[in-house]
C-alpha cells in the first residue's frame, strides 16, 4: 500500500504555527517587545505604520546577536532559554519556546539588524516567507532592530480577517501598555505613522501608571503589598470612589508577565463588595511574584494564561491584601476645609424646646397633569397615544368601554384622559403594571417596558440626526485610557446627533460641554463610560451597529427603575407608548416585557393553591 503520510515542508509548518502565535499585528509587536526585554535593553522603541499591517518595528539597546545567533533566531524551536525539559518549570524570561521569530518570518517580510557590544560590525538578514534572501555585515548600533513588513502578505485569507485600522491599533496600544507597565525601569518610545504616541522615562511603577493613564492616577491609587513564604504581591489598586463603568485598567502580572486570570480577578472584585456599584469596575495594577516551579505558563501559545499549583492559596492572599489596603484607605481621616462653621454649629447645638413645625399652604384643587403633555426626549417618558389598530392588536382585546358599535376601538382626547380609563391599571411591588384584558390580565415589567420605549426613541433620533443639545454651565471632564479615548472619538458623530458635544483636550482628557437637553442622569462621565463599555463588549459581533449600542447604553440608564412608585396616569402612559413600539413584547436585551395570564390559567392557580 502506498504511504500517504508525509512531513510538511518547514515553510508550511511555520505558517501553521504562525496562526497560533501571530494572530494580528499586535501579536508581532508583543513578541518583539518581549524579546527586547529579555535582551537586557534599557531603551526600547516601537514604531508602526497602518496599524501594523505595513510595518511593525522594534529597536532596542540590548545585548545584540552574533552572526550565527541572528540566523539561528529564525529557526523553529531555536532558543537560548531552554536546554532540558526541566527548564520549562523554571521560566524566568518572557519568550522561551523559540516559535515567535520563525512564525513572524513565515508570514511577512523581515529585516533584522543586530550587533553585540564588542563587535565592530553588525549583521543584517532579510527574510521573505521563511526564506533568507540576504545576509551581510552592516553598520549598526549595539542592540537589535527588527522590521516586520506586510504582515500576512502570503496568507491573504488571514489578512482579510484583520479588523479596521482603529481596532488593530487599539490591540497594539494594549500590548505596548502591558509590556511597558510592568517594566517601569526601562525607557519606552512608541510611534504611530511617524508621530509620537508615548515617550516613557524610567521611574517608579506609580509614575509609569500616571504616564500611561494620566496624572489623575496619582491621586486615585492605593498601594498594596503582601508577603508570604509562597507568594509576594505588590502594586496598586484604585480607590473605590474612582471605580469606572468601563473595564480596562485591570492588570495582573506574574513574574513580570501579563496574564488573564478570572479567578484572581474575582478575588479583587469581591474585596470591593458593597463599596462600588455592581456594574462598576475597580482599577488594579498587581504584580505577583512566585517560584516558577509553582506555576505553568506553557499552556497557551500567547502565554497570557497561567496555572497555579495552589490557586486557592494565591486567591486568599490576594483577597486579604486588597481588603487590607482598602481598609487602610478608608481609615485615613478626611478634613473638609470647606465646611461652613455656621452649618457645623447648627448640628452641634442642642435642639431648642421652642422649635415649631413649619406650616405649608396646600392647594387641594391643584392637578399637576392638567393641560400638560409629556415631553419627548432621552430623559423623559416620551409617551404617545397609540393608534386604534395598534392598540387593539397588541392589547389582546383590553376590556374597555371605549368600543364602538362595530367592535373597533375609538379614542378621543377626552376619552383617553378620563378617570375610568386610568383606573384600569394597578402597580404591584412598585415593579409590575397589571391591566385587565379580555382573555385575563396582562402583567408588564415597568423597567423593561420603559427601556424599550427609550431605546426606540433614541435610536430614531440617532438615525434622523435630530440634535437637541443643552450647553453645560459647568462642563464636566472625563479621563480615559488611550484605547477608550480612541473609541470615544470614533463615536463623536453619533453622539453629536443626539445632543452630546465633547471636546478632545488631549492626553486622554475630554471635556463634555453639551448634553442632550432632556438627559436626566447628571453623572455624564458615567454615561459616557457605559457607552464605551457597551461598545467594547459588542464590537466583535457580526451584527454590530454603533447606533444600536449607543441607544441601548443611554436607554437602560434613562429607564424607570424597578422600585419606583407610579401613579395611574404614568402607568397608562407606559402602556400607551409601549404599544407604539416596533417590538413591544421584548426588551432591547432580549428579555420578555409582558405576559398575559389567561382565565384558564388563573382558574388553575386558584384550584391548586400552594400548601
CA nearest to 169, candidates 477, 490, 398: 490
Q: Are 417 and 298 members of one domain?
A: no
Domain final position from 201, 230, 246: 201
Q: Are 221 and 278 members of one domain?
A: yes
Q: Identify whether 49 is part of a domain.
A: yes
Looking up residue 183, the CATH number of its domain turns out to be 3.30.565.10
- Strand, coil or helix: 448: helix
Structural domain total, the chain: 3
Q: Identify whether 338 is part of a domain.
A: no
Q: Is the pLDDT of residue 346 over 70?
A: no
Q: What does pLDDT average to over the chain? A: 81
More confident: 333 or 174: 174
Q: What percent of the chain has pLDDT over 70?
A: 75
Please report which confidence band the pLDDT of residue 542 belongs to, taking 50, 70 and 90 as the band edges. Answer: low
CB 17 within 8 A of CB 106: yes
CA nearest to 499, candidates 476, 483, 517: 517
Q: Identify whether 141 is part of a domain.
A: yes
Q: Are 217 and 140 members of one domain?
A: no
Q: Identify whether 340 is part of a domain.
A: no
Query: Which of the residue ranges 213-227, 414-428, 523-537 would you say has the lowest mean pLDDT?
Result: 414-428
Domain final position from 283, 314, 331: 331
Grid cell, residue 98, equals 523559540
Q: Is the pLDDT of residue 149 over 50?
A: yes
Q: Are 269 and 392 members of one domain?
A: no
Q: Identify whether 465 is part of a domain.
A: yes
Looking up residue 606, the CATH number of its domain turns out to be 3.30.1370.100
Q: Are 169 and 263 members of one domain?
A: no
CA nearest to 592, candidates 400, 386, 447: 447
Domain final position from 185, 201, 217: 201
Average pLDDT over every residue of 37-66: 96
Average pLDDT over every residue of 532-550: 77
Grid cell, residue 221, equals 491609587
Q: Are 248 and 113 members of one domain?
A: no
Q: Is the pLDDT of residue 424 over 90?
A: no
Query: Which H/E stretch holds residue 428?
Result: strand 425-428
Looking up residue 280, the CATH number of its domain turns out to be 3.30.230.10
Q: Is the pLDDT of residue 315 over 50?
A: yes
Q: Identify whether 351 is part of a domain.
A: no
Q: Is the pLDDT of residue 91 over 70?
A: no
Confidence at residue 25, expressed as pLDDT on a 0 to 100 scale: 96
Query: Which of the residue ranges 79-93, 484-498, 552-566 would you say has the lowest mean pLDDT?
Result: 79-93
Q: Are 195 and 233 members of one domain?
A: no
Please report which confidence band the pLDDT of residue 372 belongs to, taking 50, 70 and 90 as the band edges. Answer: very low
Query: Which of the residue ranges 342-346, 434-438, 483-487 would you say has the lowest mean pLDDT?
Result: 342-346
More confident: 227 or 98: 227
Q: Are 388 and 524 members of one domain?
A: yes
Average pLDDT over every residue of 102-120: 93
Please report which confidence band the pLDDT of residue 506 belongs to, taking 50, 70 and 90 as the band edges. Answer: confident
Q: Is the pLDDT of residue 333 over 70?
A: no
- For residue 370, count CB atoms less than 10 angstroms from its CB and return exposed for 0-12, middle for 13-18, buried for 19 or more: exposed
Q: Are 48 and 158 members of one domain?
A: yes
Q: Are 458 and 327 members of one domain?
A: no
Average pLDDT over every residue of 376-381: 46
| Domain with 283 in it | 208-331
Q: Are 115 and 177 members of one domain?
A: yes
Q: Identify whether 344 is part of a domain.
A: no
What string of DSSP letters covers 521-533?
Answer: ---HHHHHHHHHH
Q: Identify whether 342 is part of a domain.
A: no
Q: Which residues of 187-215 are buried (b: 16+ CB within 10 A; e: fewer)?
A: bbbbbbeeeebbebeeeebbbbbbbbbbe
H helices present in 388-523, as ranges: 388-394, 413-417, 419-422, 446-464, 482-490, 492-497
More confident: 199 or 496: 199
Q: Are 152 and 272 members of one domain?
A: no
Confidence at residue 225, expressed as pLDDT on a 0 to 100 scale: 95
Amino acid at each position: 500500500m502506498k504511504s500517504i503520510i508525509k512531513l510538511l515542508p518547514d515553510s508550511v509548518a511555520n505558517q501553521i504555527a504562525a496562526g497560533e502565535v501571530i494572530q494580528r499585528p499586535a501579536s508581532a509587536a508583543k513578541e518583539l517587545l518581549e524579546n527586547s526585554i529579555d535582551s537586557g535593553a534599557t531603551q526600547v522603541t516601537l514604531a508602526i505604520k497602518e496599524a501594523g499591517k505595513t510595518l511593525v518595528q522594534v529597536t532596542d539597546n540590548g545585548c545584540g546577536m552574533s552572526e550565527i545567533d541572528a540566523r539561528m533566531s529564525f529557526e523553529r524551536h531555536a532558543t537560548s532559554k531552554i536546554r532540558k525539559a526541566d527548564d520549562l518549570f523554571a521560566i524566568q524570561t518572557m519568550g522561551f519556546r523559540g516559535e515567535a521569530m520563525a512564525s513572524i518570518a513565515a508570514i511577512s517580510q523581515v529585516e533584522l539588524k543586530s550587533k553585540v557590544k564588542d563587535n565592530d560590525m553588525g549583521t543584517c538578514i532579510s527574510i521573505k516567507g521563511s526564506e533568507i534572501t540576504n545576509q551581510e555585515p552592516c553598520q549598526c548600533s549595539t542592540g537589535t532592530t527588527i522590521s516586520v513588513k506586510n504582515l500576512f502578505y502570503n496568507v491573504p485569507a488571514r489578512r482579510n480577517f484583520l479588523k479596521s485600522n482603529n481596532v488593530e491599533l487599539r490591540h497594539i496600544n494594549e500590548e505596548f501598555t502591558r509590556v511597558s507597565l510592568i517594566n517601569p525601569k526601562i525607557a519606552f518610545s512608541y510611534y504611530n505613522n511617524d508621530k509620537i504616541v508615548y515617550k516613557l522615562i524610567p521611574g517608579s511603577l506609580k509614575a509609569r501608571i500616571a504616564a500611561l493613564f494620566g496624572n489623575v492616577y496619582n491621586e486615585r491609587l492605593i498601594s498594596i503589598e503582601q508577603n508570604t513564604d509562597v507568594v509576594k504581591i505588590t502594586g496598586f489598586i484604585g480607590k473605590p470612589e474612582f471605580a469606572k463603568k468601563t473595564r480596562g485598567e485591570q492588570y495582573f502580572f506574574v513574574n513580570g508577565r501579563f496574564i488573564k486570570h478570572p479567578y484572581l480577578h474575582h478575588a479583587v472584585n469581591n474585596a470591593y463588595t458593597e463599596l462600588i456599584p455592581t456594574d462598576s469596575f475597580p482599577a488594579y495594577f498587581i504584580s505577583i511574584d512566585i517560584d516558577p516551579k509553582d506555576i505553568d505558563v506553557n499552556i497557551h501559545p500567547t502565554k497570557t494564561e497561567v496555572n497555579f499549583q495552589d490557586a486557592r492559596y494565591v486567591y486568599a492572599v490576594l483577597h486579604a491584601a486588597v481588603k487590607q489596603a482598602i481598609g487602610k484607605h478608608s481609615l485615613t481621616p478626611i478634613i473638609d476645609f470647606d465646611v461652613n462653621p455656621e452649618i457645623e454649629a447648627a448640628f452641634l447645638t442642642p435642639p431648642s424646646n421652642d422649635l415649631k413645625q413649619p406650616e405649608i399652604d396646600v392647594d387641594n384643587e391643584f392637578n399637576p397633569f392638567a393641560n400638560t403633555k409629556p415631553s419627548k426626549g432621552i430623559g423623559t417618558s416620551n409617551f404617545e397615544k397609540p393608534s386604534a389598530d395598534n392598540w387593539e392588536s397588541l392589547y389582546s382585546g383590553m376590556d374597555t368601554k371605549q368600543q364602538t358599535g362595530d367592535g373597533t376601538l375609538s379614542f378621543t382626547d377626552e376619552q383617553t384622559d378620563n378617570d375610568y380609563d386610568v383606573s384600569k391599571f394597578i402597580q404591584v411591588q412598585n415593579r409590575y403594571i397589571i391591566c385587565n384584558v379580555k382573555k385575563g390580565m396582562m402583567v408588564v415589567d415597568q423597567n423593561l417596558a420603559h427601556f424599550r420605549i427609550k431605546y426606540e426613541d433614541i435610536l430614531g433620533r440617532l438615525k434622523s440626526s435630530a440634535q437637541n443639545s443643552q450647553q453645560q454651565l459647568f462642563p464636566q471632564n472625563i479621563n480615559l485610557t488611550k484605547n477608550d479615548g480612541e473609541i470615544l472619538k470614533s463615536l463623536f458623530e453619533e453622539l453629536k446627533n443626539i445632543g452630546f458635544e465633547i471636546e478632545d483636550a488631549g492626553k486622554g482628557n475630554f471635556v463634555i460641554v453639551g448634553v442632550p437637553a432632556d438627559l436626566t442622569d447628571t453623572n455624564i462621565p458615567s454615561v459616557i463610560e457605559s457607552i464605551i463599555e457597551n461598545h467594547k463588549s459588542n464590537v466583535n459581533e457580526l451584527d454590530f451597529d454603533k447606533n444600536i449600542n449607543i441607544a441601548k447604553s443611554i436607554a437602560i440608564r434613562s429607564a424607570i427603575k424597578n422600585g419606583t412608585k407610579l401613579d395611574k396616569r404614568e402607568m397608562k402612559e407606559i402602556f400607551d407608548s409601549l404599544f407604539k413600539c416596533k417590538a413591544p413584547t421584548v426588551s432591547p436585551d432580549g428579555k420578555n416585557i409582558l405576559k398575559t395570564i389567561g382565565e384558564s390559567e388563573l382558574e388553575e392557580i386558584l384550584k391548586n393553591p400552594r400548601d
